[in-house]
Amino acid sequence: MALSPEEIERYARHIVLHEVGGPGQQKLKAAKVLVVGAGGLGAPLLLYLAAAGIGAIGIVDDDTVGLSNLQRQVVHTTARIGATKTASAAATLSAINPHVKIIQHTERLTAANALSILSGYDIVADGSDNFPTRFLVSDACYFAKKPLVSAAVGQFDGQISTFKPYEKKPDGTPWPSYRCLMGEIPPRGLFPSCEEAGILGALPGIVGSMQAMEVMKEILDIGESLAGRLVMIDALSCRFYETALHWNPDNPLTGKNPVITSLVEANYAPR
């Protein structure tokens, strides 16, 4: 996929990188990335993916822009309060980079539509803000065999990992899935929502930008993947921690005796 003279100038700082170069930038241009959620994490993630020249970016979100979103969801503006987040984000991304195709999925991701939506993309980045959606996205990526870069944030902390449970490690065991990390969907109220607990606005900017970096690493096949690793961020102490993730042979999706063999069999309703 050839780059135009304008694109060569636009992506010059990528192209001079030995690890990227012209061929790498062409990989980015050919890539199709689905972003779930155009909120706190999705905002910086979308901005950097568009700026980087990802060829097609899909956005899944059924919400509208509210005034309280603007403290952290930097892809939206005051003038767009009341607009759908997909349309608002698309307008910003198109202004940043007109070479990127933006696909709006203004709907809630469900067990009924997840696989059909995911099928049109190469990689998925989850920036959703609730556990049922995170589990649904993870399970759908497993069945669709799509790499998933998943992140979450709290008041002053965050975490990020990459999941490829449909592939195996060199020792023959599967890479861990999100269910190896979390098990089952936590009961409602166990973890307070952003509306209830609050969040420092810059934090999702940090973690969402890290997501964009991990997505581009996967597309370019450079560096060390976060598959099998969980990175946690404590923003108040400005410390990063890493722990290894391992396949859980008892997990219900990818374990030795899986009981979830399709999305329709799993219950993704909040408990």
Six-digit token string for 47: 């901005």
Q: Can you give the pLDDT at residue 271?
A: 61
> pLDDT band at residue 117, thresholds of 50, 70 and 90?
very high
Q: Please tell me what DSSP assigns to residue 201.
A: T
Q: What's the whole-number mean pLDDT along residues 216-233?
A: 98
Q: How confident is the model at residue 190 (pLDDT cuts 50, 70, 90)?
A: low
Q: Indicate if the alpha-carbon torsion angle 30, 35, 38, 40 is positive or negative.
A: negative
pLDDT classification of 188: cutoffs 50, 70, 90: confident
- In which order are the strands placed within the sheet that holds 148-153? 101-105, 56-60, 32-36, 123-126, 148-153, 157-163, 229-234, 239-244
CB atoms under 10 Å from CB of 13, counted, come to 8
Burial 104-135 (b: 16+ CB within 10 A, else e): bbbeebebeebbebbeebbbbbbbbbbbbbbb
Tell me how far apart the alpha carbons of residues 16 and 193 are, in angstroms, rounded to a whole number. Answer: 43
Q: Whole-number mean pLDDT of the chain?
A: 95
Reading phi first (left if > 0) and then psi (alpha if -120 to 50, else beta), residue 97 is in beta
Instruction: For residues 160-175, give the mean pLDDT.
Output: 95
pLDDT band at 184 (very low <50, low <70, confident <90, very high): confident
Domains and CATH numbers, the chain: 31-265 (3.40.50.720)
**Residue 167 near residue 175 (C-beta atoms within 8 A):** yes
In the predicted structure, residue 189 carries a pLDDT above the cut 70: no
Give per-residue pLDDT as tens, 23-64. 999 999 999 999 999 999 999 999 999 999 999 999 999 999
Question: With bands split at pLDDT 50, 70 and 90, how would you rate the model's confidence at 191?
Answer: low
Is residue 269 pLDDT above 90, yes or no? no
What number is the average pLDDT over the span 222-244?
Answer: 97
Q: Is 96 exposed, middle or buried (0-12, 13-18, 19+ CB in 10 A)?
A: middle
Q: Predicted confidence band at 196 (pLDDT cuts at 50, 70, 90)?
A: confident
